[in-house]
């Protein structure tokens, strides 16, 4: 399960991220509403958890904007607001579920699982094709047009999968770093550059297709010539 957590309380955010990761989930954690919108635009999530009150944009505003743009994945609101009218407002804005603070972690976990079961869009395509290549998500294997196969490392797979989800669009370097290594990781752009070089060799062994492009000063994109 891939979760986006938007919570500006760093103590609570760190705790939720840690507990969900212990359950085997992949968790991206941001502390601002505008960051949540940016992450949701570049990465597919099974569930987005939004704190109601955040800097940048409120969770309610983020939820509303996502639904207006056609976002269909599950959204769970976290808030200390427990009045009936607040719950109705949250659900009417587009949230699929609503959890009042403080809460038991077991209840949060149960609600996340229920949201994923109800989501008709939970499962991703196992194989994604682009530019003569095919990425097998389950095995993290990259197939070339000639049928040859290359095993990707975990980081290589995450970077390529993110770029494939945004084909033809520039994905900022900072977003890739945060998405693949995490907000708290001590990692530099040099680490990303090294992985991109390795990935480019696997995508284009002959150096002829130019699918993985560097957009100087911004980031990377996958684009067919």
Res 122 pLDDT > 50: no
160-180 burial, b for 16+ CB within 10 Å, e for fewer? Answer: bbbbeebeeeebebebbbbbb
Of the pLDDT bands very low, low, confident and very high (cuts 50, 70, 90), residue 121 is: very low
- Region of 95 (left: φ > 0; alpha: ψ -120 to 50; beta: rest) is beta
What CA–CA distances, in Å, run from 51 to 65, 99, 135, 165? 15, 10, 34, 26
Res 224 pLDDT > 90: no
Of the pLDDT bands very low, low, confident and very high (cuts 50, 70, 90), residue 185 is: low
Q: In this structure, which CATH number among 3.40.640.10, 3.40.462.40, 3.30.1490.20, 1.10.10.10 belongs to the domain 127-222?
A: 1.10.10.10
pLDDT at position 108, please? Answer: 92
Is it true that domain 2-120 has CATH number 3.40.50.2300? yes
Between residues 162 and 118, which one has the greater pLDDT?
A: 162
By mean pLDDT, which of 81-85, 118-122, 149-153, 177-181 is the weakest?
118-122
The residues with which 5 forms a beta bridge, in sequence order, are 29, 49
């Amino acid at each position: 399960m891939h979760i986006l957590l938007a919570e500006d309380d760093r103590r609570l955010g760190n705790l939720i991220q840690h507990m969900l990761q212990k359950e085997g989930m992949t968790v991206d954690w941001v502390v601002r509403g505008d960051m949540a919108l940016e992450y949701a635009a570049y990465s597919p999530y099974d569930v987005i958890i939004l704190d109601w009150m955040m800097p940048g944009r409120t969770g309610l505003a983020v939820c509303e904007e996502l639904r207006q743009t056609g976002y269909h994945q599950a959204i769970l609101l976290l808030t200390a607001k427990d009045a009936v009218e607040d719950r109705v407002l949250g659900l009417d804005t587009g949230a699929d579920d609503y959890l009042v603070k403080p809460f038991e972690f077991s209840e949060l976990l149960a609600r996340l699982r229920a949201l994923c079961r109800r989501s008709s869009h939970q499962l991703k395509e196992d194989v994604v094709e682009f530019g003569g290549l095919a990425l097998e998500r389950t095995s993290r294997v990259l197939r070339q047009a000639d049928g040859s196969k290359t095993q990707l490392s975990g980081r290589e797979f995450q970077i390529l999968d993110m770029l494939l989800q945004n084909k033809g669009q520039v994905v900022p370097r900072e977003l890739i770093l945060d998405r693949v290594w995490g907000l708290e990781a001590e990692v530099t752009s040099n680490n990303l550059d090294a992985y991109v070089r390795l990935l480019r060799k696997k995508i284009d062994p002959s150096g002829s297709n130019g699918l993985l492009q560097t957009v100087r000063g911004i980031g990377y994109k996958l684009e067919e010539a």
